[in-house]
Amino acid sequence: MSRRRQQNVQQQANSRLEAMIDSARDFSGHPERYEWLRALLATYSLDPHDGVLVELSSVPDQGCWTHSGLWLTADGRFIRFVADEAYGARPLDGSGRLEDASIEDVTTSTPVSQHVPGAGMSDGYLALEVLRFARTGSKQA
């Protein structure tokens, strides 16, 4: 059994930041995978080109994928969502068709402090860094 060295706070923050950047890049680089999210954003008058996907988890459910995540708008609003995407032609393949969804603006309850005890930087702060990265192409954190 090998022991992994525990990451320090800065390394943990960098890992969380990289995961958020990966989500944002995947959304912009593979639009065909996110038809359901584009439909969800459009339903709530949010422009998919005017923000970033900073968090996503997906699990298979009965007849659909259930996706949950966090969208950050260009003006700094944090939007938490849950969406069901119908299965495609094969089980566990998404069709892009949105079955059911809900969103909630969680801006006021999302910490955006650069310094959080025990965590280094808050996830909200890191998400804002991802938005800056998407705009400028360079990381600051």
CA distance 33 to 133: 22
Provide the whole-model pTM. Answer: 0.86
Q: Which residues contact 113 (CB under 8 A, 6 or more apart)?
A: 121, 122, 124, 125
pLDDT tens column, 67-95: 999 999 999 999 999 999 999 877 778 88
Q: Which residues contact 86 (CB under 8 A, 6 or more apart)?
A: 63, 64, 94, 95, 97, 98, 99
pLDDT tens column, 11-64: 878 899 999 999 999 999 999 899 999 999 999 999 999 999 999 999 999 889
